[in-house]
Amino acid sequence: MSRRPLLLAAGVTPALVLALSDPALAYVGPGAGFALVTSFLVVFGAVSLAGIYLAAWPVRLAVRLVLGRRAFRHARIRRLVILGLDGLDAARCGEYLAAGKLPNLAGLHFIPLDTTLPALSPVAWSTFQTGLDPSGHGLFDFLRPARPGYSAELSSVTTTLPPRTLALGRYRIPLGRPRIRLRRRGTPFWHVLGRHGIFSAAIRVPISFPPEKFRGVALSAMCVPDLRGTQGTFTLFAADGAEPARSEGGVRVPVQVTGEEVRAVLTGPPNPLVAGHPALTVPFVVRLDGGDGRATLALQGRTVALERGRHTEWLEVVFRAGLGVKIRGRVRFCLVEGGLRLKLYASPVHLDPERPAQPISQPASYCVYLAKRFGPYATLGLAEDTWALNERAIDEAMFLDGTYRIHLEREAMFFDALTKVRRGLVVCVFDASDRIQHMFTRTLEADHPANRGKETEAYRGVIEDMYRRMDDLVGRTRARLGPDDALLVISDHGFSSFRRGINLNAWLREEGYLVLAPDAEPGVWFAGVDWSKTRAYALGLSGIYLNLAGREARGIVGAEEARALKAELSAKLEALRDPEDAGQTPIRRVFDAASLHHGPYRDEAPDLLIGYGAGYRISWTGATGHAGGPAVEDNTRAWSGDHCVDPALVPGVFFSTLQPTVERAHLRDLAPTALDLFGVPVPELLKGVPVFRRKSA
Amino acid sequence: MNRILAAVFAAVLAPLGAVGPWLALGVLSLVTAVVMLLVFRLVSNQAGIRRAKARVVGQLLAIRLFKDDPWMTVRGLGGALRENLGYLRHALFPLLVMMVPVGLILVHLDPWFARTPLQPGAVTRVAVVVAPGADRSLPAVELHPSDTGAYRVETPPLRIPSLGEIDWRVRVEGAGSSELRFSVDGKTFAKELVAGTGMPRVNAVRSRGLLGALLYPGEPTLEGAPAIREVVVDYPAREFTVLGLSMPWWLAFFLLTLVLAFLLKKPLRVEA
């Protein structure tokens, strides 16, 4: 026995050969030992797992048959692939199709797809997935009133912290977990498919946070917060001498160049374990390399090269809350300007998909699986940082770099799902199409107010290029389809220009419907408003609420008065003319929600829904509940396109490999269409109709 | 170099021997684990290993996530095995690099941990093995009695031509280190004999040539008697027992370094 290690030590026999015969013999150091032990466990685990699932598969199949849920019995297709291209505009598609610029989409059947009122992504995608109108799923805007009171809260999700904590010195240990609740009601149609034994992969469909259980896999999208708990807060570290500032989407942090070095801290989540929840931070160092093109960044033991205008990969950041608790996130940096006037952009700190601080997928291991397969990826709901460009923290090229990187991550997930789901549903929503149109619509109009002071000519082709890229994605998707697969390419709405902003609260103040307290200055979220004299206020992007007695905290409008007041407001708003161009009607139509909606959640709707005219939208100040400034003003920000207009102006698209039996469809028809294609009975609650009706016998 | 190393190990292990074999092995395992982890980190593709491990886990998760489709289960299994090979590939180069230092460590630790010294009064076998190619009729090797009375030769030489070996039965008379003295064809050579207690270095074999120097560094190689390949003394094997299970020292050493390295790899930031 004693000679055994000696023979090993001689190294006469190649270690690899030994490895195949006896792991112990091939042991040459802990690292290699791990490799061998781990490999053995992998093989053992994989074979065991596969064996168990393969053995159990006939049993599961039998159970399904016995329970009468034989999947695909009445299906007309084997697989349905829905490619959601957020914001793809019907008119623009028509233009590019006519010019022969979208050859792959040209090979599909096309009909316009009507959107919801209001034409907003959370509302529209909720209708898409549930087949219900807004009063059926309960979402009417990004924001809703936080009653009692007049502040705003996110309409789709609510988070409640544990009510009790255990005091332990400086620590306050929460007794329980935060409760995150999805406010969208209704049932996504892939849940219904799952009940009939059909597997689905739903990737980044908006309004799916927190994830819900169903038969399939899903990755959450819109409304997934960053680690700060916001919908995305970027940081711009700047050594240009400017004061610190905070805008809606980001923070500007002054830094100083000392020698050739900048030391700063990245702010992360509030510390959940300490009273007052002070923000957790991690320090980092930027070393300048002389010129303005390059620098290096040292963050938590890792050093990465910074190249001007290029985003880094997703870097892991670990925030230590104490008591051994770590909160992990992912951040990427972009060197905006090097040298002594350094400007460094840091993205919002995304939840780490490998170890998310909040649930972001169904099942919980799906987000981990994607991270293991393809590396870390963006998890924030609104991942493309439009705010950073809007605030000019980054420029257009940097925005495109960041946006298309995220798009490529999504493509990898989507094509993986296409490989993995051979029967069933694959639905994936891509957001770049929406974000790019928001930020570059100005470049298509030479006289757009947002062009002032910005480079325009160089980016004139960005939107067309994006449409071509989406068309290419469609082409690659079609190449992966089988003969029994169906492909739908849809968008939730189209697009319009956003040239002028209307501050509805300022208009209400001018017209006497919203009253400020004596000597009060107007401020955000209705600061200075005298609610005892205010009859209406605007909240969100397209809603006007009456200050109804019994509903609002300090309501003064009675039920009898309400109807007349709504009619009066509607008439005045529709008659409104742009003071700078009397020929323009900022508001095309005003909708009375009570007469429009009949679903169970109609009471949660704004009293009036505004259908803005083409080129108009609520102004930036108006959207924050601010009643100051002019009622109508130019929009000079990069966010120069929008869809929050009269829905009739911004239909989405519906392309299909199958021939539609209707000439026009609505988003609410998608759920019945998908269920009908799989031969699953459409619930009576759904009022939409299948787009591909069966031929009658 | 081997002699220098032997001296270094002797300097380290001689005092460690006082704390007992388990503790001594534990300390050495700890040092080995740290050094080898650092070497592994230095010579391996850490990012590649991280990616390879992630892909393996990804494939395992795929088996679980897409279990509804048996074909996906089979593909996931194939993918896991394929990625596992990729992971092993990353371990290959560091494995080759570490073969030399680990080999040297094992060679030098073996005399200290593999055997216990003979007890006074114990009987053992002493064998002289003839060099290959030498006269298989076996030369007239003589084992001389001890001058100091450290041992007693109890039997005449037992000549086993088929093995090319000449054996004696020797009784140990006293504790300590002494020399077995041999002569053949007018030339003499010796072999160390260790008796007593504790954890002294116990060299079971004295051999010749480069390989002999490499494998048995505790004693100088046999240079004076070309007909002799090696001299072997049978010592009792030292067993390491855990929860009633006996194992050889090298297995205990492997397990200890593996466990310690597992505990230390995160603090040392080693991806393995």
Q: Among positive and negative, which fits the CA dihedral A168, A171, A172, A175?
A: negative
Distance CA A160, CA A155 (A): 14
**Once rounded to an integer, what is the mean pLDDT over residues B122-126?**
95
pLDDT band at A20 (very low <50, low <70, confident <90, very high): very low
Q: Among positive and negative, which fits the CA dihedral A544, A549, A555, A557?
A: positive
Q: Is A170 inside any structural domain?
A: no
Q: Hey, is A367 helix, strand or coil?
A: helix
Which of A36-40, A127-131, B177-181 is most confident?
A127-131
Q: Hey, is A363 helix, strand or coil?
A: coil
- For A684, the enclosing helix (H) or strand (E) is none
Instruction: Report the DSSP beta bridge partners of residue A618.
Output: A502
Distances (CA, A) of B216 to B3, B109, B115, B201, B207: 11, 11, 14, 12, 7
So what's the pLDDT on residue A30?
A: 67
**Higher pLDDT residue, B2 or A187?**
A187
Q: A420–B270: do the CB atoms touch at under 8 Å?
A: no
Q: Is A72 inside any structural domain?
A: no
Q: Is A163 inside any structural domain?
A: no
Which of A39-43, A595-599, B158-162, B231-235 is most confident?
B231-235
A61 and A121 share a domain?
no
Q: Is A368 inside any structural domain?
A: yes
Distance CA B24, CA B240 (A): 12
To 5 degrees, how large is the angle CA A508–CA A512–CA A518?
A: 110
Nearest-CA distance from A15 to chain B in Å?
7
Q: Is A216 inside any structural domain?
A: yes
A190 and A215 share a domain?
yes
Residue A14: is its pLDDT beyond 70?
Answer: no
To 5 degrees, how large is the angle CA A44–CA A359–CA A208?
A: 120
The amino acid occupying position A143 is L
In this structure, of A329-338, B17-26, B143-152, the range with the lowest mean pLDDT score is B17-26
**In chain A, how many domains are there?**
4
Residue A305: is its pLDDT beyond 70?
Answer: yes
CB-based contact A398:A311 (threshold 8 Å): yes
Chain B residue with minimum CA distance to A366: B65
A483 and A346 share a domain?
no
Give the single-character DSSP code of B178: E
Residue A333, φ and ψ in degrees, nearest 5: -115, 160
pLDDT tens digits for range A609-630 = 999 999 999 999 999 999 999 9
Q: A423–B63: do the CB atoms touch at under 8 Å?
A: no
Q: Judge whether A630 is closer than 8 Å to chain B, CB to CB.
A: no
So what's the pLDDT on residue A259?
A: 85
The residue among A599, A624, A642 that closes a domain is A642
Distance, C-alpha A559 to centroid of its chain: 38
A348 and A246 share a domain?
yes
Distances (CA, A) of A454 to A210, A392, A578: 39, 10, 25
The residue among A330, A355, A380 that closes a domain is A355
A255 and A391 share a domain?
no
CB-based contact A683:A191 (threshold 8 Å): no
The amino acid occupying position A544 is I
Residue B135: is its pLDDT beyond 70?
Answer: no
Nearest-CA distance from A23 to chain B in Å?
11
Q: Is A159 inside any structural domain?
A: no
Residue A538: is its pLDDT beyond 60?
Answer: yes
A608 and A560 share a domain?
yes
pLDDT band at A7 (very low <50, low <70, confident <90, very high): very low
Distance CA B240, CA B256 (A): 12
A380 and A402 share a domain?
yes
- At a CB cut-off of 8 Å and minimum separation 6, what does A51 contact? none
**Higher pLDDT residue, A291 or A181?**
A181
So what's the pLDDT on residue A67?
A: 62
Give A45's contacts in chain B (Cβ within 8 Å): 60, 80
So what's the pLDDT on residue B104?
A: 84
Chain B residue with minimum CA distance to A201: B66
- Structure tokens that stand for A371 in this block: 């991270």
A440 and A558 share a domain?
no
Average model confidence (pLDDT) for chain A? 91
Q: Hey, is A576 helix, strand or coil?
A: coil
pLDDT tens digits for range A187-219 = 999 999 999 999 999 999 999 999 999 999 999
A204 and A283 share a domain?
no
Q: Is A148 inside any structural domain?
A: no
In this structure, of A90-94, A405-409, A631-635, A693-697, the range with the lowest mean pLDDT score is A693-697
Residue A31: is its pLDDT beyond 70?
Answer: no
So what's the pLDDT on residue B215?
A: 86
pLDDT band at A22 (very low <50, low <70, confident <90, very high): very low
**Higher pLDDT residue, A10 or A444?**
A444
Nearest-CA distance from A416 to chain B in Å?
11
A190 and A273 share a domain?
no
Q: Judge whether A318 is closer than 8 Å to chain B, CB to CB.
A: no
**Strands (DSSP E) found in A406-514:** 424-430, 485-490, 496-502
**Higher pLDDT residue, A247 or B108?**
B108
A491 and A505 share a domain?
no
The residue among A338, A355, A372 that closes a domain is A355
So what's the pLDDT on residue A192?
A: 97
To 5 degrees, how large is the angle CA B96–CA B50–CA A384?
A: 155
Which residues form the domain of A606?
Answer: 501-642
Q: Is A333 inside any structural domain?
A: yes
Q: Judge whether A99 is closer than 8 Å to chain B, CB to CB.
A: no
A189 and A119 share a domain?
yes
Burial of A207 (0-12, 13-18, 19+ CB in 10 A): buried
Which among B51, B94, B100 has the least Cβ separation from residue A32? B94
Residue A668, φ and ψ in degrees, nearest 5: -70, -10
Following DSSP, what letter does each residue of A49-68 receive, concatenated? Answer: HHHHHHHHHHHHHHHHHHTT
Q: Judge whether A50 is closer than 8 Å to chain B, CB to CB.
A: yes
Which among A27, A53, A372 has the least Cβ separation from residue B58? A372
Q: Looking at chain A from residue 499 to 538, which residues have their Cβ under 8 Å from any Cβ of chain B?
A: none
- Structure tokens that stand for A383 in this block: 């991942």
